[in-house]
Structure 1
């Protein structure tokens, strides 16, 4: 668990000084998200000129972060896709180091502002997102540059569940049973194309300018079945959009270039939705301190999602 500072203002001052010294960027700096990674905006309130990410000081090798930034630099913009890229320092470095008050030295990167407006949960935006993801998945050059980590490692599913403490035995047993059910149905077989994956492809990480989607936050990128990115969209729709999930999913799938789902895709998505929810649970295990009540909610949500995947009752797949 990382050491954290309570002095937000001190960190903002240090970041502002680093931007001035290393990037020749003089701007007000303010915190946007203070999480495991600390994100700050540089520029006037409401009109930032850059974003700064202070990466977590442990658990993420610098080489892996550098690979993420290299991927962004190598993405070829299309009529449907662009990304918010890292900005080089005056020394030509995409990744620098910053001594942060209260938490030691942290890797730092400065990013372009993603053009456009946040993507919303409506069919037209989902179609555009699907088209952009298809363009991203088609860029085979990214696999060699990406962090060489396998995003869908089945053993991690079991390890995540095994780490659930005995005080939550009921929720753990539900997860064990639901995962066993998925395996018994053969849903855990790899399917679809393998290659570069965004890893966290959800609407919160997308902006839209007319028909072009601008992607950002490639922190979870890596290698694996590319349908994981589709499953992440379905998982988000399942959590956030209720009974409207199926219509939005069909729009997304159309944009991706599949007029409709099929049994192979749907079965793979059931497994990958379960995997993605358990990946999010593992993040909580690794980096968050939650009280017992919050853990019950988080584990109950995970168990419910995996059970719906096992029973074939995910709402976004209805009618596909």
Structure 2
């Protein structure tokens, strides 16, 4: 049998969907065969919008990402549970199995490492909040602050929060971009030198402050992972990279995504120098 990674993309996704339907029937009491499953993305995780007939939608995530074992997935779901219970930050609320589990181990044929399945409630709204509209940028900042307030004030037994630690070294120096041969080839010597220089510049900032400046963080808090809700608020999705680190990392990611969007908008709306 070929390894899972050797299968064509469509065959991989078909395999994962069949497994997901089976898990939903066996562990969540849903009719797997009768569900509508719309693919949202498939990279490290296969993510579907799952809709039972006549019922609200769910999000199903079957993770085929190495290095995210079941204990780490459970920690992610436990944090989401505290956020959903607080009613201060709109997030996809985890749905437990019929026997009370957050995560179901899944054997994917042709793959050595266990995969995991998690089910969450669909968060209605649209991605990439329109920050140019009055009040929306403030709502994005307020949501970020509330996320960190939860991390600082709602205990989870931090010794049991089994998630990555995000700092300048793990992000820029020992992460995938420099640790993998493919990443090094893509970067080249010049790109690697730039990353090292950036790490030197931001490391002092990440070392400032004390314990109150660090805690649970989203880890990937850009605009595409924010949802503009029907009531005009801002929610947060995709906690797959959550971990512990300096709160500045989340703040910087939000600002960077706004800056990148703004720069792209200006580039497409300014008159061409050649035309002028």
Question: TM-score, normalising length from structure 1?
Answer: 0.65
Q: Deviations over 1:13-43 (max 9, x none)?
A: 2212221222122212242211011112212
- Size of the aligned set, in residue pairs, is 242
What is the aligned partner in structure 2 of residue 15 from structure 1? 20
Q: Which runs of 5+ in 2 are unaligned?
A: 267-276
Asked if 2 retains the 8 angstrom alpha-carbon contact of 1:75 and 1:142, the reply is no
When residues 44 and 125 of structure 1 are mapped into structure 2, their CA distance, relative to the original with a 3 A threshold, is farther
Verify: 1:159 aligned to 2:174, yes or no.
yes
Q: What is the distance in 2 between the residues matched to 1:228 and 1:107? A: 27
132-141 vs 190-199, which deviates more? Answer: 190-199
CA, structure 1 residues 31+22, in 2 after alignment: closer, same or farther (shift >3 Å)? same
Aligned residue for 2:5? 3
Unaligned runs of 5+ in 1: 246-320
**Farther off after superposition, 153-162 or 4-13:** 153-162
Contact 2:45 2:63 in 1 (8 A): yes
Report deviation, 1:50: 1.0
Shift of 1:213: 2.5
Work out whether residues 4 and 102 of structure 1, in 8 Å CA contact, stay in contact via their aligned partners in 2: no
Q: What is the TM-score normalised by the length of structure 2? A: 0.74
Query: Residue 194 of structure 1 aligns with which residue?
Result: 214
Give the equivalent residue in structure 2 for 1:288. Answer: none
The CA RMSD measured in Å over matched residues stands at 3.2
Other structure's SS at 1:241 match = helix
- Partner Cα separation in structure 2 for residue 152 and residue 162 of structure 1: 15
State which of 189, 197, 207 in structure 2 corresponds to 1:169: 189
Do the aligned partners of residues 5 and 70 (structure 1) sit closer, same or farther apart at CA in structure 2, a change above 3 Å counting?
Answer: farther
Q: 1:62 to 1:242 in 2, by over 3 A?
A: same
Deviation of the 1:77 alpha carbon:
5.1
How many angstroms apart in 1 are the aligned matches of 2:189 and 2:25? 52
Match of 1:60 among 68, 80, 83: 68
Structure 1 segment 137-156 matched on structure 2, within 5 A: 137-139=148-150, 140=152, 141=154, 144=158, 146-154=161-169
Correspondence for 2:237 = 216
Residue pair 1:197, 1:222 contacting (<8 A) in 2 also: yes
**1:51-98 Cα shifts (integer Å, max 9, x gaps):** 111112521122111101110111255665221121111111110022
CA distance in 2, matches of 1:70, 1:173: 39
Q: How far apart are 1:111 and its partner, in Å?
A: 1.0
Q: Is 1:190–1:225's contact at 8 Å kept on the other side of the alignment?
A: no
Aligned to 2:251: 230
Is the contact between residue 50 and residue 110 of structure 1 (CA under 8 Å) also seen in structure 2?
Answer: yes
Aligned counterpart, 1:135: 146
1:51·1:111 contact (CA, 8 Å) conserved in 2?
A: yes
- What stretches of structure 1 move > 4 A for 4+ residues in a row? 76-80, 160-163, 177-180
Aligned partner of 1:205 in structure 2 is 225
Q: Is the deviation greater in 222-231 or in 96-105?
A: 96-105
Residue 115 of structure 1 is matched in structure 2 by 124
